[in-house]
């Protein structure tokens, strides 16, 4: 099948992955209403067409997270990439480095940040889930520092993990070893299986010195989920701000009040996120809260966004509404599963092309011109 867009990547990933992993990536929490809302939210805005206004190929580079990047989107933190493809984290980070955009490694990863720094390079960020083991939090931070990570994200919308009903049915993150149903679904995807086994039995590298978390990735995933600090509060953000000299990003903010609180706690940036509809089900789409958050804190803390971005036009709408950049989640996770490093490169290229065409037909020369034009190039769609 020809891959034309990000939805095609999803279909290709579905064909290649065992159900347990496809569902883990694709699914949301409870009735998945926020998962659907994130996509639908983009339809509430239209963009302005201006003809014969620009004769140039649009410049897609722009600034966010303190640097100039080739594209206004980057690869955000997605757990367990190394289970969807052998060496998945390294492959995705390499594709990001080749495209001159940042890659953020999740706490829940097969490859460690050291391995990434060695094997992929590029602009590497690290996402921290505060665990209830202070020494291990320190270890993760020290590893990020040693790998010369300048940008750390604290994800704050996951203090309790919501129920993702597809995962419950598939026993993902409850079974410590593959169940017969899991084994059957893994064996039905030989392409995935052989690729993974070529890289050895997957295990979380950062937990190598922590046998108490168990052996393989499945058992470690169960134990890591259980060791998330459920009591984490703004006091820990204060602690982290004192502890981390680099850029601090609070990911998972969805209200004006929390955006201001994060700024006051010393965050350099926030990511407006509902965890891709995987956490509090029933909350609004991220794009729908972006304007009010920007109005409240814009200019005092940098605002980025994720959730449901699958099209160049989605990214254009977010930038016009005041986001400095966009994080991809499933869009590249599916691409990685479907085609490894080349798949991620292709997903980036699809979005790059869609963005360039959209800007050109809007009569805009560059992403920076789009950002400066702001809300003058979008309007609310008639109901």
Q: Would the annotation count 332 as a binding residue?
A: no
Helix (H) or strand (E) holding 165: helix 165-170
Asked if residue 306 binds ligand FMN (CB under 6 A), the reply is yes
Does residue 137 sit in helix, strand or coil? helix
Residue closer to ligand FMN (CB basis): 290 or 331:
331
Asked if residue 308 binds ligand FMN (CB under 6 A), the reply is yes
Q: Would the annotation count 129 as a binding residue?
A: yes
Asked if residue 273 binds ligand FMN (CB under 6 A), the reply is yes
Asked if residue 102 binds ligand FMN (CB under 6 A), the reply is no
Give the residue, chosen from 8, 10, 20, 24, that forms a contact with ligand FMN under the rule CB under 6 A: 24
User: What are all long-range contacts of 148-151, with beta carbons under 8 Å and residues at least 24 apart?
Assistant: 148/117, 148/124, 149/113, 149/124, 149/125, 149/246, 150/66, 150/125, 150/246, 150/247, 151/65, 151/66, 151/102, 151/104, 151/125, 151/126, 151/246, 151/247, 151/249
Q: Would the annotation count 77 as a binding residue?
A: yes
Catalytic choice (69, 125, 210, 275): 275
Angle between helix axes 256-264 and 286-297 (nearest 10 degrees) is 50
Asked if residue 276 binds ligand FMN (CB under 6 A), the reply is yes
Measure the CA–CA gap between 320 and 182, rounded to whole angstroms: 44
Does residue 295 sit in helix, strand or coil? helix
Measure the CA–CA gap between 201 and 290, rounded to whole angstroms: 42
Q: Is residue 275 among the annotated active site residues?
A: yes
Asked if residue 126 binds ligand FMN (CB under 6 A), the reply is no
Residue closer to ligand FMN (CB basis): 123 or 363:
123
Asked if residue 65 binds ligand FMN (CB under 6 A), the reply is no
Q: Would the annotation count 215 as a binding residue?
A: no
Residue ranges at the known binding site for FMN: 77-79, 106, 127, 155, 251, 273, 306-310, 329-330
**Residues making contact with ligand FMN (CB under 6 A):** 24-25, 38, 76-79, 106, 108, 127, 155, 251, 273, 275-276, 306-309, 328-331, 333
As annotated, the active-site residues are 275
């Amino acid at each position: 099948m020809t891959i034309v867009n990000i939805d095609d990547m999803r279909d290709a990933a579905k064909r290649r992955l065992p159900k347990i992993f496809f569902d883990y990536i694709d699914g949301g929490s409870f009735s998945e209403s926020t998962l659907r809302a994130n996509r639908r939210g983009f339809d509430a805005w239209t963009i302005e067409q201006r003809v014969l206004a620009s004769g140039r190929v649009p410049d897609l580079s722009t600034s966010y997270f303190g640097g100039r990047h080739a594209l206004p989107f980057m690869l955000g933190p997605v757990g367990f990439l190394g289970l969807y493809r052998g060496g998945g984290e390294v492959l995705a980070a390499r594709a990001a480095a080749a495209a001159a955009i940042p890659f953020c490694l999740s706490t829940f990863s097969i490859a460690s940040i050291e391995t990434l720094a060695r094997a992929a390079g590029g602009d590497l960020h690290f996402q921290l889930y505060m665990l209830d083991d202070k020494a291990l939090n320190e270890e993760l931070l020290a590893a990020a520092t040693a790998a010369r990570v300048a940008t750390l994200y604290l994800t704050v919308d996951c203090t309790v993990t919501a129920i993702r009903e597809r995962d419950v049915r598939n026993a993902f993150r409850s079974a410590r070893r593959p169940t017969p149903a899991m084994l059957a679904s893994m064996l039905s995807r030989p392409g995935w299986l052989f690729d993974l086994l070529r890289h050895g039995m997957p295990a979380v590298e950062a937990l190598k010195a922590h046998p108490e978390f168990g052996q393989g990735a499945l058992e470690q995933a169960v134990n890591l989920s259980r060791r998330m600090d459920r009591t984490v509060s703004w006091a820990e953000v204060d602690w982290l701000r004192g502890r981390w000299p680099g850029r601090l990003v609070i990911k998972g903010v969805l209200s004006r009040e929390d955006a201001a609180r994060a700024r006051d706690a010393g965050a350099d940036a926030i990511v407006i996120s509902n965890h891709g509809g995987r956490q509090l089900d029933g909350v609004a789409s991220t794009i729908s809260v972006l304007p009010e958050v920007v109005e409240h804190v814009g200019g005092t803390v940098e605002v980025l966004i994720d959730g449901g971005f699958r099209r160049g036009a989605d990214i254009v709408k977010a930038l016009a509404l005041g986001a400095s950049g966009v994080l991809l989640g499933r869009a590249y996770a599916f691409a990685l599963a479907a085609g490894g490093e080349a798949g991620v490169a292709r997903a980036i290229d699809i979005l790059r092309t869609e963005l360039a065409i959209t800007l050109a037909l809007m009569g805009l020369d560059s992403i920076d011109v789009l950002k400066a034009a702001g809300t003058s190039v979008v309007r609310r769609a008639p109901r």
